[in-house]
Amino acid sequence: MKNIKLIATDIDGTLFDSNHEYNIQRLNDYIDKLHQQDIKFSVASGNSYSHLEQIFQETNNIDAIVAENGAQILVDGQTIYEDTLDNDTLFDIDKELNSNLNIISLCFSGENGTYVNADSPQTNDYYINNLVRLDDMNNIDDKIFKMNIRIDDDDLDPAVKYINDNYGDTIHAAVSGFGSIDIISDHVNKAVGIKKLCDYYNIDTQNVISFGDNSNDLEMLQESGIGVAMKNSAEHIQAEADMISVTDNDNDGVLNTIADVLSFDA
Q: Residues 171-199: pLDDT tens digits?
A: 888 888 667 898 999 999 999 999 999 99
87-185 is a CATH 3.40.50.150 domain = no
Mean pLDDT of 79-101: 87
Q: Which residues have C-beta within 8 Å of that of residue 258, sequence separation ≥ 6?
A: 7, 30, 209, 264
Q: What stretch(es) of the chain map to CATH 3.30.1240.10? A: 87-185
Query: What whole-number distance in Å separates Cα of residue 219 and Cα of residue 154?
Result: 23
* pLDDT in the model for residue 249: 98
Task: Look at 205 and 266; give whichever has higher pLDDT.
Answer: 205
CA distances in angstroms from 83 to 10, 45, 78, 129, 170, listed in the order given: 19, 15, 15, 22, 13
Position 90 confidence tier, pLDDT thresholds 50, 70, 90: confident
* pLDDT in the model for residue 252: 98
Residues of the chain with pLDDT > 70, as a percent, come to 98
Residue 1, pLDDT above cutoff 70 = no
* pLDDT in the model for residue 63: 98
Residues of the chain with pLDDT > 90, as a percent, come to 68
Residue 120, pLDDT above cutoff 90 = no
Task: Look at 21 and 182; give whichever has higher pLDDT.
Answer: 21
Mean pLDDT of 112-133: 84
* pLDDT in the model for residue 211: 98
Q: Report whether 109 contacts 71 (CB < 8 A).
A: no
Reported residue count of the chain is 266
Q: What stretch(es) of the chain map to CATH 3.40.50.1000? A: 6-82+188-262
CATH class of the region 6-82+188-262? alpha beta
* pLDDT in the model for residue 154: 86
Q: How do residues 132-146 score in pLDDT, each as one tens digit?
A: 999 988 889 999 999
Q: How do residues 24-74 score in pLDDT, each as one tens digit?
A: 999 999 999 999 999 999 999 998 999 999 999 999 999 999 999 999 999
Q: Report whether 111 contacts 85 (CB < 8 A).
A: no
Average pLDDT, the chain: 92
* Region class of 20: left (phi > 0), else alpha (psi between -120 and 50), else beta: left
CA-based R_g, the chain, Å: 18
